[in-house]
């Protein structure tokens, strides 16, 4: 395998209720899954290809629970990426050069029956994991807005986190409320549904952990 590693941030919005049963090995809220999100690489490489500052977006749909397969994916790669960088990002996103099941990329890729041709376009985003605020936009393709969950009585911010000591995506995710609109091959609308914000650090072999599991 070509060695790769990156550190970065992610924002994912899916159609489940807050908490997302999938995070707990339960069935999705509505029986099917749809999601859109960004991974922004702050520092990373694929072999000798530098990936610093690049972003990749994915729009995904499954007609049932993810593990039952038949999924579809629309990958979107930062237009500023060079040809070698584009190839590297697509390999990571598709689970190549990765231990089986070691990352969410590899897990999701194993469930897709169709992956559309990648879109190379400018990706604009704002993402603050700790404050649970984010915005992602690819013109005419996807618009994601995420914010803190609000107490329905007081309107104050409600903070919740998910801790997965043995997960394949993150160690801790901050949970928020997301609203998304996607167009094109995988069109969908989500309003005030599950959103997660997380710092990522992973390589070919999975999540690089900075906390000791209990």
- Cα separation of 151 and 107, whole Å? 34
DSSP assignment letter at 4: E
Q: E strands along 85-183, which residues?
A: 112-115, 119-121, 124-128, 133-138, 142-150, 157-158, 161-163, 172-182
From the list 182, 186, 184, 160, the residue with the least C-alpha distance to 173 is 160
Contact 119, 77 (CB under 8 A): yes
pLDDT surpassing 70 at residue 214: no
Cβ neighbours of residue 120 under 8 Å, at least 6 residues apart?
A: 76, 77, 78, 79, 81, 86
Tokens describing residue 164: 């997965």
- Cα separation of 60 and 78, whole Å? 18
Mean pLDDT over all residues of the chain? 96
What pLDDT score was predicted for residue 93? 97
- Cα separation of 155 and 153, whole Å? 6
What pLDDT score was predicted for residue 211? 75
pLDDT surpassing 80 at residue 65: yes
Instruction: Provide mean pLDDT across the span 73-100.
Output: 97
Give the rounded percent of residues in the chain with a pLDDT score beyond 70: 99
- Cα separation of 104 and 30, whole Å? 21
Tokens describing residue 136: 């992602």
Q: SS3 for 185?
A: helix
Instruction: Please state whether the predicted TM-score (pTM) of the whole model is above 0.85.
Output: yes
Instruction: Provide mean pLDDT across the span 146-164.
Output: 96
In total, the chain counts a number of residues equal to 214
From the list 93, 118, 96, the residue with the least C-alpha distance to 185 is 118
């Amino acid at each position: 395998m070509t060695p790769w590693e990156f550190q970065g941030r992610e924002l994912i919005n899916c159609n489940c209720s807050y908490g997302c049963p999938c995070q707990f090995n339960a069935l999705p809220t509505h029986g099917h899954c749809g999601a859109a999100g960004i991974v922004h690489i702050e520092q990373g490489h694929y072999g000798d290809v530098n990936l610093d500052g690049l972003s990749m977006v994915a729009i995904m749909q499954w007609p049932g629970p993810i593990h039952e397969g038949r999924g579809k994916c629309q990958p979107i790669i930062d237009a500023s990426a060079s040809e070698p960088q584009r190839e590297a990002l697509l390999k990571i996103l598709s689970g190549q050069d990765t231990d089986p099941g070691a990352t969410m990329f590899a897990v999701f890729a194993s469930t897709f029956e169709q992956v559309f041709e990648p879109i190379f376009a400018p990706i604009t985003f704002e993402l603050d994991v700790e404050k649970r605020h984010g915005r992602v936009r690819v013109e005419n393709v996807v618009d994601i807005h995420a914010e803190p969950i609000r107490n329905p009585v007081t309107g104050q911010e409600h903070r919740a986190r998910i801790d997965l000591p043995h997960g394949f995506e993150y160690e801790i995710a901050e949970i928020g409320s997301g609203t998304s609109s996607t167009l094109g091959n995988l069109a969908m609308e989500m309003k005030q549904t599950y959103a997660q914000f997380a710092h990522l650090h992973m390589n070919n072999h999975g999540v690089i952990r900075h906390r000791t599991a209990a």
